[in-house]
Amino acid sequence: MNLSPKRQQGLTLISIAFILGLIAFFVLLVLKIAPIYIDHSKVVNALAALEETVDIQTKSEQEARSILNKRFTMNYVYDVTKDDIKVTKRGNYIKVEIEYETVVKIFGNLSVLAEFYDFIEVGQE
């Protein structure tokens, strides 16, 4: 029984394996990278909450750091260290900057580096 090539349809086993491999790779990337951005949203929310704190511009640098550290602990944010937080205080003006990076190993020697920089300014210089 000879079938003409025009009537043969479908994927070969190799093409199915290749497509499944691509899908698996992209699912792995999403599962590894999504938590980085979820944690970053927690950092942004902590900064927004700090900005909304009553009389934040009258608080000292240590008090601002303490408020941030409490929020980070409550939200399980471990990527930001105390060295990543810079607080500038002048009179009734306060600026809080957070600059940090996160490295996540994908597999083997392949890693993803994400760098973040966020800041708030409250009050007037």
Q: What's the 3-state SS for the chain? A: CCCCCCCCCCCCHHHHHHHHHHHHHHHHHHHHHHHHHHHHHHHHHHHHHHHHCCCHHHCCHHHHHHHHHHHHHHCCCCCCCHHHEEEEEECCEEEEEEEEEEEEEEECCEEEEEEEEEEEEEECC
Give 80-94 pLDDT, tens digit per residue: 999 999 999 988 899
Which residues of the chain are modeled with pLDDT < 70? Answer: 1-8
pLDDT at 12: 85
pLDDT at 10: 76
